[in-house]
Amino acid sequence: MSKGVKNSRHRLRIASQVICLVGFLWLFLVTEYRGVDQLPYPVSLLFRIDPLAALADFLAPGDFGWQLLWPALLLLVLTAVVGRFFCGWICPLGTTLDGLGRIIGRGNRQLGAGWRRFKYILLFSLTTAALFGVQLFGLFDPLSIFLRSLTFAVYPAYNLFLNRLFDLSYGSDIPVVSPLLNGAYPFFRDNLMAFHQPYFQLALFTFAVFVLIVLLEKVDRRFWCKYVCPLGGLLGLCSSRTLLERTPASVCNDCSLCGSRCRSRAVTDQGYRKQECFLCLDCVDDCPDDRVSYRWSLQPTAAAGIDLGRRHVAGAIACGALVAPVVRITPDPTRYDSFLIRPPGAVDEAEFLRRCIRCGECMKVCIGGALHPAFLQAGASGLWTPLLVARLGYCEYNCTLCGQVCPTGAIRELKLEQKKKEVIGLAVIDKNRCLPYARSEECLVCEEHCPTAEKAIVFERKEVLVNSEVRILKFPKVVKKRCIGCGICETKCPVEGRSAILTTNEGESRRQRNAIDSGGYG
Angle at 19 between CA 35 and CA 78, to 5 degrees: 110
- Of 32, 369, 425, 406, the closest CA to residue 201 belongs to 369
What number is the average pLDDT over the span 501-509? 94
Is the pLDDT at 195 greater than 90, yes or no?
no
Burial class (CB in 10 A: 0-12, 13-18, 19+), 221: buried
519 pLDDT band, cuts 50/70/90, is: very low
Averaged over 7-12, what is the pLDDT? 79
Is-contact 116 311, C-beta < 8 A? no
- Name the band, by pLDDT with cuts 50, 70 and 90, for residue 515: very low
Statement: residue 331 has pLDDT above 90: no
**Residue 76 above 80 pLDDT?**
yes
- The 3 state secondary structure assigned to 466-491 is ECCEEEEEEEEEEECCCCCCCCHHHH
As a residue count, the chain comes to 522
pTM over 0.85? The answer is: yes
Q: Name the pLDDT band for 521 (thresholds 50, 70, 90).
A: very low
Distance CA 391, CA 505 (A): 14
Rounded to the nearest 10 degrees, what angle do helices 92-104 and 3-30 cross at?
A: 110
Q: Read off the pLDDT band of 301 (50, 70, 90).
A: low
d(CA 384, CA 265): 33
Lowest mean pLDDT among 55-59, 75-79, 328-332, 461-465: 328-332
Residue 6: what pLDDT?
55
| Least confident range of 39-53, 204-218, 409-423, 501-515 | 501-515
Per-residue pLDDT, 355: 94
Residues 235-263 pLDDT 10s: 999 988 888 888 877 777 777 777 777 88
Share of the chain above pLDDT 70, in %: 95
pLDDT at 298: 82
How much of the chain, in percent, has pLDDT values that exceed 90? 65
pLDDT at 514 over 50: no
The CA–CA distances, whole Å, from 253 to 83, 250, 522 equal 26, 9, 82
State the pLDDT at residue 44.
Answer: 86
Burial category of 70 from C-beta neighbours within 10 Å (exposed 0-12, middle 13-18, buried 19 and up): middle
Q: What pLDDT shows up at residue 151? A: 96
For residue 300, pLDDT beyond 70: no
pLDDT(299) > 80: no
Distances (CA, A) of 109 to 209, 218, 231, 255, 400: 22, 9, 23, 20, 49
Mean pLDDT of 382-409: 95
Residue 353, pLDDT above cutoff 90 = yes
- Look at 235-244, 254-263, 350-359, 446-455 and tell me which has the smallest mean pLDDT: 254-263
Nearest to 230, CA basis, from 115, 116, 123, 113: 123
Which is more confident, 242 or 519? 242
Question: Over the chain, what is the mean pLDDT?
Answer: 89
Cα–Cα distance between 82 and 85 in angstroms, integer?
7
Please report the pLDDT score of residue 183 as a whole number.
92
Reported as type and span, the H/E element at residue 203 is helix 203-215
Question: Are 265 and 226 within 8 A, CB to CB?
Answer: yes
Output b/e per residue, 233-260; b: 16+ Cβ within 10 A: bbbbbbbbebebbbeeebbeeeeebbbe
pLDDT attached to residue 241: 85
State how far the Cα of 341 lies from the Cα of 19, in Å rounded to an integer.
38
Cα distance from N-terminal residue to C-terminal residue, the chain? 80
Using alpha carbons, list the distances in angstroms from residue 76 to 52, 128, 163, 224.
11, 20, 42, 20
Q: What is the pLDDT of residues 12-68, one digit of tens each?
A: 999 999 999 999 999 999 999 888 898 887 888 899 999 999 999 999 998 898 888
